[in-house]
Amino acid sequence: ATKLSQRVQRIKPSPTLAVTARAAALKAQGQDIIGLGAGEPDFDTPDHIKDAAKAALDRGATKYAPVPGTPGLKKAIVAKFARDNELTYSTDQILVSVGGKQSFYNLFQATIDDGDEVVIPAPYWVSYPDMVQLAGGEPVIVKTDIDTGFKMTPDQLDAAITDRTRCVVINSPSNPTGKAYTRAELAALGEVLARHPDVIVATDDMYEHILWTEAPFVNIVNATPALFDHAIVMNGVSKAYSMTGWRIGYAGGPTDLIKAMSKIQSQSTSGATTVSQEAAQVALDGDQGCVADMVRAFKERHDFVVAALNDLPGVRCLESDGTFYSFPDFSEAIARNGADDDLAFSEMLIEKAGVALVPGSAFGAPGYLRLSFATSMKNLENALSRIRDILK
Ligand code: PLP
């Protein structure tokens, strides 16, 4: 057997990508599987963005891009932060990467030494803890549950911060819960973080635009502007513009931090794909109507899914504020149906109902399942009725 590094043995493959792959494999074998595991919108990338990419190719957008991003895209990102987020950055405070995932990878590689800690509220996006471990750090998980709306309290945050804390991650609206912190809740967390200027506050705004609360989107830096100098704002075009396969994410933050992250990137991938950067620039600069169309569809499906889930015996589900996920508590249904845990139960759902959901354990929240409604109403109706049929 090949001798592998300790580093790679510390981590596991992405469980959400694994569920998607498993559902696809069963489907390829001819089985009738409805996949509700997807972490990407089911819509195609809007035409005006694809057309811009085609034109860019014809203009010769086929060469290396500068490591931190093309000047055009960085300018569009600066304008986007000013327009949507009231945040003022210069172009040397921006780093474009191969998806929001690489933005986080660069961040942890650039800031974490062995044994350093990163505070991560659970349920969390699956990649944060493993990326921290890959960098030699220790994820410090703060547990939240359905009864507190999946929100970390200021006391919990305060208790989690130690001398070794290098970074705190806030993801709102959240994958997997769909919940978003209010401005007041963020300000209360921000007050704690403002007392720790050495701790980097990473706000993951990936789902910023997929939001249907009455109040407009707000992140922790908006709520507590004093954090600006030790905060990094993470975002990307993957979810808002249905551009997951283009692989463009970006970060705005302190110049020295961005420069360090860029150095990591210069020795790993170099600049993100040139033609994708041209497309992302048009996505950010162009008409935003396409985003509103997708959000309307997600909201309609959300309303159906949450009602249908709450109608199932032994299942409880909160309304999401945004994203295309719901995160129902199945703990009672799991017990009633004789499954050992959410992992066994999700296996049972695949085998008996032909429906693929991601077990909550993957997000640090056993007893829950994540349902992605980035699929058609017809699939959702079908899936929910199949689940209903096998539940005791
Ligand atoms: N952050 C969150 C919360 C996500 O859900 C995702 C994607 O699933 C990402 C970041 C990274 O997105 P990408 O690398 O596809 O741009």
* ipTM of the modeled complex: 0.99
Look at residue 52 in the predicted model and tell me its pLDDT: 97
Contacts of 312 (CB under 8 A, 6+ apart): 333, 384, 387, 388, 391
Fold match flag (6-44+289-390 vs 64-285): no
Choosing from 206, 209, 211, 363 the residue with most ligand 1 atoms within 8 A of its CB, the one to mutate for a pocket test is 206
Q: Which ligand 1 atom sits nearest the alpha carbon of residue 174?
A: 3
- In short, whether 204's Cβ falls inside 6 Å of ligand 1 is yes
**Which of 360, 349, 365, 295 is closest to 324 using CA atoms?**
295
pLDDT at residue 279, rounded to an integer: 98
99 CB within 6 A, ligand 1: yes
pLDDT at 196: 98
The pLDDT of residue 138 is 98
Fold adopted by 64-285: Aspartate Aminotransferase; domain 2 (3.40.640)
Question: Which letter does DSSP use for residue 69 in this model?
Answer: -
- Going from the Cα of 91 to the center of ligand 1, the distance in angstroms, rounded, reads 23
What sign for the dihedral angle of Cα 5, 120, 173, 353? positive
For residue 350, give the nearest of 74, 58, 24 by alpha carbon: 24
Q: Indicate if ligand 1 lies below 6 Å from the C-beta of 14.
A: no
Please give the pLDDT value at position 22. 80
What is residue 127's predicted lDDT score, i.e. its pLDDT?
A: 94
User: Which residues of the chain, if any, have pLDDT below 70?
Assistant: none
Dist. CA 101 → ligand 1 center (Å): 6
**What superfamily in CATH does domain 6-44+289-390 come from?**
Aspartate Aminotransferase, domain 1 (3.90.1150.10)
Find out whether the beta carbon of 238 lies less than 6 Å from any atom of ligand 1: yes
The residue ranges of every structural domain in the chain are 6-44+289-390, 64-285
pLDDT tens digits for range 180-211: 999 999 999 999 999 999 999 999 999 999 99
Give the pLDDT score at 25.
Answer: 87
